[in-house]
Structure formats: structure tokens, C-alpha cells
Structure 1
Amino acid sequence: MKDLKGKTVWMTGGGGDLATSAAKLFLQEGACVVLTVSSEEKIPLTRERYPEAADCLEVVKGDVRILEEMEAAAKRTVERFGSLDILVTCAGAIRHAPIDEMSMKDWQDIVDINLTGTFCACKAAVPFMKRQGGGRIVNVSSIAGRTGRPGNGVNYAASKAGVDGLTKLLAAQLAPFHINVNGVAPGPMKGSMFQRMTPEQQAASGKNVPLGRIGELEEVAWAIRYLVSEEAAWITGAILDVNGGMYM
């Protein structure tokens, strides 16, 4: 694949495991990256992860649920680096519970972050991409959006199903403007939640995966990288499963 020199990437959920893995990959390939994090306190902590990238990295505070804050982050991206070529919506939250134990707050918070947050980021980025004649959007979804996978809450499943629907319809709407919109739907990954498990829990977590193991963050990051590449220029409206064959 061609490198990303001269490209600018804006990522929501910039303090998370997957965003960190993908951002490091983008920076290695010559892109400039703007990361949106949810609080001011996370800005210095996030910067510390990229000691060699000061000239091509910006970290800004922005609540994905608030359109005005996403618009400010998109504007800052263009002001700092001159363009907004790629958007990756990594911001997400999980709060699983059976429906009879789930509060309205549990429902609303997850839908607001996962679905409304994706909408707000896309809405903020699209005007800039239209003006510059094109762009790439990758929305991070989940296998939970299309399966009855045990252990997932209906709030999370519904929010991720919504992300898939948003992605597909937005792809059709934006195709005339040369903006490709795709999704990545990961299965279980070796993020911070996995690292907090006991060795026994870690071993058990891969047993239901047909390929026999939990996914690496880098494997999902490379899927995102492919979808923003020139080689994927004729792909839009797709949801790429990266899950080791785990469809339930």
C-alpha cells in the first residue's frame, strides 16, 4: 500500500486502545493525526504515548455527544494541518446488563456515545471533505451489532447496529462527493479490558473463537488502514469483520 504522507487523520476516542494502535500506524506511514479525547486531563496522558510525533500530532478535548465540540475539533484539524482527509470514529463505551436490570441511563449513555457520537463526528467532518473533493471515513462498529452474542447488552448491540446502518446509508449519500464510508466490526481484542483478566480468564476468552485466540489491536488497526488506502478506493458501504471467524 502507498504511504500516507501528506494526509491528515482525525480520530475520536483518541485515548482508547484501538485508536492508539491505529494512530501509531498512521504516524509511522507519514500522516498527521488529530486525536479527540473526552477530558482535558487525558490530553497530556495521550500525548505521552507518541514521544516522536510532536510535529504531526494534535490532541484536543471534545465530547463526541456534542456536535459543536466535534465541529470545533474538525475545524482545528484543518487549521493545524491544512486538510481533513480521513476520519476514524473510535469513541465507544460498553455497559452490559440484562434488559430487566438495565436503567434508562445505561441505555441512553451507550446510545449517545456510540451512535450519536459517530453521527456528530461524521456530520462535522463531511463539509470539509466535500470542499476538498473527497475523503475517507471508517466507523468502528462491533460484531455485536449483527449477532446475538451472549453477554452483550441490548444498548450496546442496538448502538452498533445503528452505526452499521449509518455507515451504509452515508456511503450512498456521499459517493457523488468521492467520500468513501466503511466500517470495521472487531471481535474481542487484547485491549486494557483483556489485560485486567486473570490468566485463566484470558485463556478461556479465546476458546469460542474459531481461529483459537483473541485478536491483536494491530490486526484491527491494519483493517482500518486498508479501508483508507488508495487500494480500497472502490470500496464503500462495507462493514469489514475482523473477528477470527467469531460470528456469534
Structure 2
Amino acid sequence: MGQRRHMRVAIVTGAGRGIGAAVARRLYADGWSLVLGDIDADAVTLLAAELGRDAAPVLLDVRDPVAWDHAVAIASEAGDLASLVNVAARTDIRDLFEITPEEWDDVLATNLRGPFLGIRVVGPLLRDRGDGRIVNIASDSAFRGRGVTGTHYATSKAGLLALTRRAAAALAPSGVTVNAVAPGTIDGETVRELAGERIEELASEIPAGRLGRPEEVAALVAWLLSDEAAYVNGATMLVDGGAAL
């Protein structure tokens, strides 16, 4: 990282593909310097090469506090750490009564413990800075009794909404905002793997008549990280094409 050292730095987890990669591309285009975290080191290395010298790839298992410390150290060395976007998630589709305790624990460890660990280490830095943004990528499955994703995934995302509100309340006096974005069915590798031949059926059930695009989620994240969104805090914003209607 060189020429943007005076610019703000954002950590994006789950940046290797899908919504995470779209968020990274959008933020980089908006002038952010980035730390790209993912458990797939090859994926974020390729993305960093695509974006440029002010994007640093980091092997980040969000379940691991030590990995978080490493990612934050790299971000702090790069410049002014100002934002965290928690995207990393494990998604599985399985009948409620087929989920093993081990799978349940790992999904919640990735999807809920991971953002908690990130907020736990980044939040105090933003608080001391007196400004900053945290955005958690949740899911509309948190509000639904049925859907493509598994019960453990939906449960973890519902918990993430509670974490968002509690963190927002804790950090608000310091000028730091914490918000959640809850995508609906977003087109991409993960959804196509889970839904298979049901893709067209899923699209027909959405008032917009199509699946969402990762770039549409990224656009909202970019706005929430901007100065224009300074008065938005503790909110959950749906990006679902009207599916909740």
C-alpha cells in the first residue's frame, strides 16, 4: 500500500467472492484502501492483484481472535483504519433435524462469533478515533420461517441483528455507527449451488421479478460507510427486491 496512505482504510471480510468481492471492488473504486480478509488466501490474493497496490490480502479465519489481531495490525500499518465490513459467512442448506451439533457450532462461529470478534477488536479503535463505520451483512432469512438457507444460518443472522443494535448503542456516543444490511436472494455462486434448478422459481417469487446483484448490496454498504450516512445507526436495511412484502 502506497499512494493512498492518507486515505481511510477498511477491512472487508469474506472478500474472496460474492458480496464480499463486490463490496471490495466498490470501496476501492470510491477511494478506500483495503484489507481483504478471507479464509481462501488465493481468492483475496487474486482480487488484490486486480484492484491494485492499496489492497492487501490477508488470510483471515474470522473465528480466530489471533487472526483478527493480525488483520487489524496490517490495516493500522496501512493508514487510518476507519471501517469494518463483516461479510464472511458459512451457508448450508439442511433440514433442521439433519443439522449436527458440530455443524451448528461452526456456522454460528463463522457467522456470529466472527463479527463479534471483529467488532470487539476494531470497535475500541474507532471509538478512540472518534469516528468510524461498521456494517454487518445479515440476511432476510433472519425474518423468515422458510427459505433456501439452513436454520443455523438464519439463526446466526438473526443474532447478528441483535449484535448490530447492541454495538451501535455502545459506540454511538463516540461518533461510530454500526448498521446491518440484509440481502435477499442475491445471484452468485453460493445461491446457484444451493438452489440449483430452483433459480427461476425463486426469481418469480420476488416482486422485482429477478435475483439481486452483489453490486446492489455493495452500493448500500458504500453509502453506509460514507459521511452522508452519519445519522443512520443501529438500522437494518433490506436489499431484497420487495420480497419481504
TM-score (norm 1): 0.90
Name segments (4+ residues, structure 1) moved above 6 Å.
none
In structure 2, what is the Cα distance between the partners aligned to 1:199 and 1:89?
A: 27
**Of 107, 112, 125, which residue of structure 2 is paired with 1:110?**
107
Task: Show the counterpart of 1:207.
Answer: 204
- Alignment check: 8 A CA contact 1:95 1:106 kept: no
Task: Show the counterpart of 1:12.
Answer: 13
Task: Show the counterpart of 2:37.
Answer: 36
Amino acid paired to 1:87: L
For residues 53 and 98 of structure 1, do their structure 2 counterparts lie closer, same or farther at Cα, with a shift above 3 Å needed?
A: closer
For residues 226 and 214 of structure 1, do their structure 2 counterparts lie closer, same or farther at Cα, with a shift above 3 Å needed?
A: same
How far off is 1:84 after superposition? 1.1
How far off is 1:149 after superposition? 2.6
- Alignment check: 8 A CA contact 1:27 1:33 kept: yes
Alignment pair present for 1:172 and 2:169: yes
Alignment pair present for 1:71 and 2:50: no
How far off is 1:109 after superposition? 0.9
For residues 69 and 192 of structure 1, do their structure 2 counterparts lie closer, same or farther at Cα, with a shift above 3 Å needed?
A: same
Report SS of the residue matched to 1:84: strand
Task: Show the counterpart of 2:3.
Answer: none
Amino acid paired to 1:216: R
How far off is 1:33 after superposition? 0.6
**Of 158, 181, 185, which residue of structure 1 is paired with 2:178?**
181
Alignment pair present for 1:228 and 2:208: no
How far off is 1:201 after superposition? 3.6
How far off is 1:55 after superposition? 1.9
Amino acid paired to 2:240: N
- Aligned Cα RMSD in Å? 1.9
TM-score (norm 2): 0.92
How far off is 1:196 after superposition? 5.1
How far off is 1:232 after superposition? 0.7
Identity %: 32
Task: Show the counterpart of 1:53.
Answer: 51
Report SS of the residue matched to 1:137: strand
Amino acid paired to 2:38: V
For residues 148 and 130 of structure 1, do their structure 2 counterparts lie closer, same or farther at Cα, with a shift above 3 Å needed?
A: same
How many residues end up aligned between the 2 structures?
A: 240
In structure 2, what is the Cα distance between the partners aligned to 1:102 and 1:185?
A: 24
Structure 2: tracts of 5 or more residues without a match: 1-5
Report SS of the residue matched to 1:156: helix
